[in-house]
């Protein structure tokens, strides 16, 4: 098996997928019709043509417009079930799904409706596809810390249905320290902690995510390479980075996949993983991210195995499930 065949064969965990970013244009249009929501695009093709992003904000504007078609429990179920079917085709064995409650509560959709639809898809994925999964509630960082506190309060009746909290949306100008108090409260509640940092923001934001929020993983984190002391700290503590190569390309964090820092992150001894971020918008699901990165950077079979092993080690699964997934990986890698 060459490196590409290996990508397709090995079991993997996906740790950085915004479930609202898995809404394909066709599903956006069918949900718009089902729910009587007007879209500012006349056709699926016109919507797809708008997917020419220059930076994170240019993407987020369209991403929030797409999510406006989600109103009912069945909409959230249909979206997540479509993702799980694609993930299954890519041999994803475990997935941790980000969701953005504030995007929906702002339109009058109760957080309980969002979580109920997503959980039902998670249960079906476990039963029919053997995919384990967890939900991670993300606070929108362009909104205030008070709004994040209100969102947490709103979601607490469903506490057993999400494993952790994250921080997403417009990064620059909204440093992690803006959310120190609400993340402290989340830690008291026993929630697992992650945050986007160092996608467009500077290394200082990654330091803040570590020190102020006490994150267990960094989402993106690619700009850590600008600060050798930070790289040393991330390597020493083995803080995983959930890296999203096609996202970095589409949002112009890199201009060419051949310039992507994935190989440099691995060579620096960091626990880097491959993820799809917003696959419906960035041109591919997990295996597309792996395959294009392997091709652009000439990654080896050992690199591919290390990336898959990192994803399993960095996941929030039980130790029994981790042992099971690592054994599956070892068996395929040895074949």
233 is catalytic: no
Q: Residue 194, Cα to own-chain centre: how many angstroms?
A: 10
Nearer Cβ to Zn ion, position 151 or 275?
A: 275
Structure tokens at 209: 């995510």
Candidates 44-52, 56-64, 142-150, 271-279; binding stretch for Zn ion (CB under 5 A): 271-279
Rounded Cα distance between 104 and 31, Å, is: 15
User: For ligand HPA, which residue of 133, 151, 247, 289 counts as binding (CB under 6 A)?
Assistant: 247
Task: List the single partner that 199 binds among ligand HPA, Zn ion, none, CB under 5 to 8 Å by kind.
Answer: ligand HPA
Residue 254 phi/psi, 5-degree rounding, is -125, 150
Residue 75 as a binder of ligand HPA (CB under 6 A): the answer is no
Residue 208 as a binder of Zn ion (CB under 5 A): the answer is no
Residue nearest to ligand HPA (CB): 168
Residue 66 as a binder of ligand HPA (CB under 6 A): the answer is no
Of 73, 134, 199, 208, which residue is the catalytic one?
199
Rounded Cα distance between 51 and 62, Å, is: 8
Nearer Cβ to ligand HPA, position 6 or 311?
A: 311
Contacts (Cβ under 8 Å, ≥6 apart) of 279 = 17, 21, 22, 83, 86, 246, 285, 286, 288
Note whether 91 and 49 are within 8 A (CB): no
Note whether 74 and 117 are within 8 A (CB): yes
Minimum distance of Zn ion from residue 84's CB (angstroms): 18
User: For Zn ion, which residue of 73, 134, 171, 277 counts as binding (CB under 5 A)?
Assistant: 277
Residue 309 as a binder of ligand HPA (CB under 6 A): the answer is no
DSSP class of residue 258 equals G
Helix 73-89 / helix 111-124 crossing angle, nearest 10 deg: 30
Binding site for ligand HPA (CB under 6 A): 18, 21, 56, 63, 168-169, 196, 199, 247, 277-278
Catalytic machinery residues:
199
What is the binding site for Zn ion (CB under 5 A)? Answer: 277
């Amino acid at each position: 098996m060459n490196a590409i065949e290996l990508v397709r064969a090995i079991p993997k965990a996906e740790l950085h997928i915004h479930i609202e970013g898995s809404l394909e244009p066709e599903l956006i249009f069918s949900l718009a019709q089902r729910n009587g929501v007007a879209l500012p695009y006349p056709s699926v093709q016109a919507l797809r043509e708008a997917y020419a992003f220059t930076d994170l904000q240019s993407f987020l504007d369209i991403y929030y417009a797409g999510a406006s078609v989600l109103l009912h429990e069945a909409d959230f179920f249909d979206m997540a079930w479509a993702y799980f079917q694609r993930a299954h085709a890519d041999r994803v064995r475990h997935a941790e799904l980000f969701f953005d409650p504030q995007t929906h509560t702002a339109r009058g959709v109760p957080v309980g409706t969002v979580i109920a639809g997503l959980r039902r898809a998670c249960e079906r994925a476990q039963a029919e596809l053997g995919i384990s999964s967890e939900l991670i509630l993300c606070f929108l960082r362009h909104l205030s810390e008070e709004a994040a506190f209100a969102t947490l309060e709103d979601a607490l009746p469903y506490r057993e249905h999400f494993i952790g909290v994250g921080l997403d949306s417009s990064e620059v100008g909204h440093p992690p320290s803006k959310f120190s108090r609400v993340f402290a409260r989340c830690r008291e509640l026993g929630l697992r902690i992650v945050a986007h940092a160092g996608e467009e923001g500077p290394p200082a934001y990654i330091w803040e995510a570590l020190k102020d929020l006490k994150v267990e993983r960094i989402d993106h984190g690619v700009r850590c390479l600008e600060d050798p002391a930070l790289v040393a700290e991330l390597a020493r503590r083995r803080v995983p980075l959930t890296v999203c190569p096609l996202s970095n390309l589409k949002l112009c964090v890199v201009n060419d996949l051949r310039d992507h820092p994935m190989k440099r992150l691995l060579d620096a001894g960091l626990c880097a993983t491959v993820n799809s971020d917003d696959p419906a918008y960035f041109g591919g699901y997990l295996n597309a991210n792996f395959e294009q990165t392997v091709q652009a950077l000439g990654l080896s079979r050992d690199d591919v195995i290390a990336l898959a092993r990192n994803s399993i080690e960095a996941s929030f699964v039980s130790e029994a499930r981790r042992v099971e997934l690592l054994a599956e990986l070892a068996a395929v890698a040895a074949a």
